[in-house]
Structure 1
Amino acid sequence: MPRVWDVPVHDSTRVRDARVAAEEAAALVGLDESRTAAAALVATELATNLIKHAHGGQLLVDTVAPPSGRGGLVVQIVAVDHGPGMADVRAALGDGFSTAGSLGAGLGTCRRVADDFDLHSVPGRGTVALARVGAAAKADARETVAARAGGVNIPFAGAQRSGDAWTWVRAGDRLTLMLADGLGHGPEASRASTAAVDELHRSAHLPCAEVLRRLDRALRGTRGAAVAVAQVDTGAGRLWFAGIGNVGARLREGDSWRHLLSRPGIVGVHRPTTLRETEVPWAADRLLVLHSDGLPSRWVPPSDPGLPACDPAVTAAVIVRDASSSARPVRDDTAVAVLSPTQPDRP
């Protein structure tokens, strides 16, 4: 059952907690001393920025599959705030830039030492910064992939483990994304969703409906889970989706959004006899969002035209941030996973 660190950062005393969370996550995925130090540095800089520039925020530390789908797990660090935002993101990423009288090396340093770094900021709405640190230093040449997946997972009430889980598997032109919401929350919910993750890695070569049948068998003996499975074949330009239970799925097609419907039931407890797959075209203007019911049912899809070009985990974090606030806290474990076409590198 994977650990998730949700660190509220509202004063300087929590910067140490952020660093320790990154170090513990690094130990979990087996990073060496130098890469552990890089993860700790990134967490420290992002937490410090939350205090200096946003009057506090939230730092999420998790272990995830890298965007390329190659290699082992990496440490993902996401800083989320409702602060003033940045008018010039490009300038903020340059060394020497500062709005707080500091040396301004924080974001530039994070960008250099992390394997992946991305940032989305809108004046008046806040900022999301993302970094991933893996076993090796950032390579100069990157593998080009036609689609990518990412997400965030937030445990309910600061628990160490979330009852939600998401994962994805790449096989050639086909990418399979799954999100599982274990019934309730706590260790038993986490056990169910973790069983779904383990089985997905054995069954991702199968069609969505057959994956759900395999998951149903794997989750018997647990309290069960709501599960959504999506597959995209970038070569064929097709997307398939099937879901069971109270999990949400929305697909952006150009400027509009549509719901992809799941069947009633609980995987591992009560699977519907008939499972239908939704098949739709997949193109460069598509964006798929899977989410658990920790996200309010009436959440509003992001309208920022620049967001789809961001790392999908950044998009997921922005969705969670904009759907909740201190006045409307999440009411359950909350996971959001995003599947998007690969966009050209942004300047």
Structure 2
Amino acid sequence: MTRVWDVPVHDSTRVRDVRVAAEEAADHTGLGRDRRAVAALVATELATNLLKHGGGGQVLIDTVDADLAEPGTGRGPALQIAAIDHGPGIADLTTALRDGFSTTASLGAGLGTCRRVADHFEVHTVPGRGTVALARVHAARRDRPGHRLPDTSAPVRAGGINIPLAAAAYSGDAWACVRSGDRITLLLADGLGHGPAAAKASGAAVDQLHRCAHLPPAELLGVLHTALRDTRGAAVAVARLDLATRHLDFAGIGNIGARLRSGDTWRPLLSHPGIVGAHRPARLPQCRLPWTADSLLVLHSDGLPSRWAPPPVEPLTSWDPAVTASVIVRDSSSAARPVRDDTTVAVLTPTPQDHRS
């Protein structure tokens, strides 16, 4: 089941709560003592940064596993820490990212040190719209003696953000991205209702994906229908990218939104009515579309408004996919208009050439 630590940060007393959440999440992910300390440090700095630059916001911590490198060469699950605010933005990001530039009442590390100690760190800020800071911490760093991992990258990247309704411990949504040979499958499941029972349904869909990632979307949904019969059921969308032929196949059942961008055009991908595990359409067509160097796929659960607007024309494919997902969620909600359901956005995008090893 998808465990998410969602901590609102609106005063300095919540900074400690963020650190404690990061330590609990690190234990849940299986990080060792050293990496647990790094996660706690990064989370503390991001929470303090929310107060200094954003006037408050939220920190989301969970475990992600979307390493799409060749089998046997990846890094495995990581702890993901995302800090999101609707504040004025960081006026001088270059200075804020300088190693040793300390945020008020922090541990004296600053965002620059976060960038250095985390395995991945990225900040996106726009004046008047707010800031997204995202870090990931793996169980072992590449540069630790005896723990060096292969330096490889995949031609595409996947990432997402998951926000449980009312800061619940478990989200009824779940997403995953799995590679099988030259095929990469992105799945998003929204368990019926909320809480642990909904999380059980969406988690069962993710578990089945790991066993059947070789199947095309429509066929995989048929397998999922059987696998989810003992659960509440779920809305599920599946997209499979064939790296060899450069095409994307899509199929979905239930209220999962999907949009594919090519160039400056966004195209909706339609799911069919039903509930996987309960009511499956008699016929489930599968659509096929070309995948280009500037394509970007967004899947989202119905906690996101159906008429969400894509971010302004910016180099979206250069952002980490989880940053793109966070920006979409942030710009579709506000303190006065919070998310109204478990809300998950998952993104698949080409890996920029300068990010490949």
User: After the TM superposition, which residues 1-347 of structure 1 pair with which residues of structure 2 at under 5 Å, given as runs?
Assistant: 1-68=1-68, 70-97=74-101, 105-139=109-143, 142-345=151-354
Specify the SS of the correspondent of 2:116.
helix
How far residue 103 of structure 1 moved from its aligned partner, in angstroms, is 9.7
How far residue 96 of structure 1 moved from its aligned partner, in angstroms, is 4.4
How far residue 157 of structure 1 moved from its aligned partner, in angstroms, is 0.7
Q: What RMSD over aligned residues (CA atoms) do the two structures have, in Å?
A: 1.9
For 2:39 and 2:88, the matched residues in 1 are separated by 26
For 1:332 and 1:2, the matched residues in 2 are separated by 15
**Cα 1:142–1:71 shift into 2, 3 Å:** closer
Residues 95-118 of structure 1 deviation map (CA, whole Å, 9 limit, x = unaligned): 244686989741111111111111
Specify the SS of the correspondent of 1:4.
strand
Structure 1: where are the runs of 5+ without partners? none
**Cα 1:169–1:102 shift into 2, 3 Å:** closer
Specify the SS of the correspondent of 2:60.
strand
Question: Retained in 2: the 8 A contact 1:114–1:138?
Answer: no
Question: Retained in 2: the 8 A contact 1:119–1:129?
Answer: yes
Question: Retained in 1: the 8 A contact 2:7–2:60?
Answer: yes
Question: Retained in 1: the 8 A contact 2:251–2:287?
Answer: yes
Q: Percent identity?
A: 68
Give the TM-score normalised by structure 2.
Answer: 0.92
For 2:195 and 2:106, the matched residues in 1 are separated by 41
Q: Aligned AA for 2:110?
A: G
Q: Aligned AA for 2:247?
A: R
Number of residue pairs the alignment of both structures matches:
346
For 2:27 and 2:179, the matched residues in 1 are separated by 25
Structure 2: where are the runs of 5+ without partners? none
**Cα 1:9–1:172 shift into 2, 3 Å:** same
Q: Aligned AA for 1:246?
A: N
Residues 251-297 of structure 1 deviation map (CA, whole Å, 9 limit, x = unaligned): 11100101000011100000111111111110111000000000011
Q: Aligned AA for 1:2?
A: T
Give the TM-score normalised by structure 1.
Answer: 0.95
Question: Retained in 2: the 8 A contact 1:113–1:137?
Answer: no
Runs of 4+ aligned residues of structure 1 deviating over 2 Å after TM superposition are: 66-72, 86-92, 96-105, 138-142
